[in-house]
Amino acid sequence: GTIQNDILKEFMVRNTYIYPPKPSMRIIGDIIGYTARNMPKFNSISISGYHMQEAGANQALELAFTLADGKEYVKTAIASGLDVDEFAGRLSFFWAIGMNFYLEVAKMRAARLLWCRIMKETGAKNPKSLMLRTHCQTSGWSLTEQDPYNNIVRTTIEAMAAVFGGTQSLHTNALDEAIALPTEFSSRIARNTQLIIQEETHITNVVDPWAGSYMMEKLTQDMMDAAWKIIEEVEAMGGMTQAVDSGWAKLKIEAAAAEKQARIDSGKDVIVGVNKYKLAKEDPVDILQIDNVKVRDGQIERLKNIRANRDPALVQQALDALTSAAEDGSGNLLDLAIKAVRLRATVGEVSDALEKVYGRHRADTQKVTGVYAAAYDSAEGWDKLKAEITEFADTEGRRPRVMIAKLGQDGHDRGAKVVATAFADLGFDVDMGPLFQTPEECARQAIENDVHAVGVSTLAAGHKTLVPAIIQSLKDQGADDIIVFVGGVIPAQDYENLYAAGVKGIYGPGTPIPASAKDVLEQIRKAVAA
């Protein structure tokens, strides 16, 4: 089996962290140590570049940061007393495969060469320690809501690149994942895509089929050089933990994301069916509907049953032992956590026991500036929209002010950060709310910051309950003059209910940011005039 266990990428892009980076790295070391001693054939970590590319990183950044993460985990495990050859053979990697076909193949070839170099530097002797084993997943970021059957073609091309790059395992995305969770139909198409490649094309019969191609060898070397330069920058900072803790790595990815989005919105990068060759009329697509209230209520009921059928004293004793080990650095945290869970302690209780010592990490919500504008500002309409925003500021005495919010357990902030960057470059006054807010907290911050509008970014199906809740909370606090707009993965079937709840604008995947900004400005004007 394999667990992801890659905490550094959480601080950079995915945001499902709990504790600060340094204690989190101690947990990683304990997990690698426990599995090496007790489960020698278990893959103790899957070092992920996938989530970096999904957050907007280009191939060189994805490659460099992922390998630098891997190096940091190796150093952490060695520092905990493990011999490098005791665990290195069980490390695995996870790449995203996007639409730049040749570059993705080159990235995977470069990764193996660079990882071998890194592991030799750490003193690894076993040939298995020098190998880079990898899983790949086709890009979710390249999937489009518009004309979604095009996504079958995109996924097929990306899957081919992964196979040519030598992936050991593969996940092919479903055609409707830009809209909702996949249906049984779309899942079958996704599965059969890779089965047809594996069983019918025979391309899996050849190892490294691009070897010797002048073009591919040049691309591979260029990718190695670009990634190694970034890795050297990371090492100069003191390693990846420091690069993450300082926020530097996260900002590099956010800048790349903003630049890429601007190129799409301006039409410089073509996305078929989105900014070129668009359909005049979109046909509806069947989607899978999930009742998140029912799921939550069911989980709460299961937790009640667990707590009712256990020995509370023994559970507390095990949790106290976990807290003590976190405090004084003794023992193995995974070993102690397993003992607590066998006594029916919940995951939340185990987490709380560690949080007493480590605290909870609060991310600094910085945003990059100027990157989106630099890539977009030659496009038609940009200067006109900036002039309209300046005119609003002259008339109202201040710029239009918006707060970009993430509600609930949705930690995917790529879209929110890019929107914040673009709106700021246009002249909006932009506040970034912290991750994981409740609707009540968000409404309170919006009122305190005296914003004109709250923009909720939703990518985890929470829009049906959380968005109406923030609108109600604003009303309850006497601030129904603050308008709410929503962006992200929202099925068209849900639009009517959101508008009925009071949402003033809904912007799905593929909506150019300047178009949404123009609409938001118009809605703010109406609210101010009312």
Banded pLDDT at 4 (limits 50, 70, 90): confident
Query: Could you give the CA distance from residue 429 to residue 89 in angstroms, rounded to a whole number?
Result: 50
pLDDT in tens, 286-328: 777 777 778 888 999 999 999 999 999 999 999 999 999 999 9
Q: Over the stretch 70-107, which tens digit does the pLDDT of each residue have?
A: 999 999 999 988 899 999 998 999 999 999 999 999 99
Question: Residue 5 CA to chain centroid, in angstroms?
Answer: 15
Report the C-alpha gap between 459 and 467 in whole angstroms: 12
Check whether 119 has a pLDDT greater than 80: yes
Higher pLDDT, 461 or 251: 251
- Mean pLDDT within 254-276: 89
- Is residue 376's pLDDT more than 90? no
What percent of the chain shows pLDDT beyond 90? 68
pTM value is: 0.85
Q: Which residues make Cβ contacts (< 8 Å) with residue 328, sequence separation at least 6? A: none
Average pLDDT over residues 31-45: 90
Tokens of 395: 């008339």
**Residue 241 in this model has a pLDDT that exceeds 80:** yes
The DSSP symbol for 458 reads: E
pLDDT at 408: 80
Q: Identify the weakest region by mean pLDDT among 203-217, 434-448, 470-484.
A: 434-448
Instruction: For residue 403, name the pLDDT band (cuts at 50, 70, 90).
Output: very high
**Residue pair 172/205 in contact by the 8 Å Cβ criterion:** no
Predicted local distance difference test score (pLDDT) of residue 433? 84
Nearest to 223 by CA among 165, 172, 273: 165
Spatial separation of the C-alpha atoms in residues 142 and 165, rounded to whole Å: 19
Going edge to edge, which strands form the sheet with 91-97?
Answer: 45-48, 91-97, 134-138, 169-171
The answer for residues whose C-beta is within 8 angstroms of residue 308's C-beta and 6 or more apart is none
Q: Which amino acid is at 273?
A: G
Is residue 500 within 8 A of residue 480, CB to CB? The reply is: no
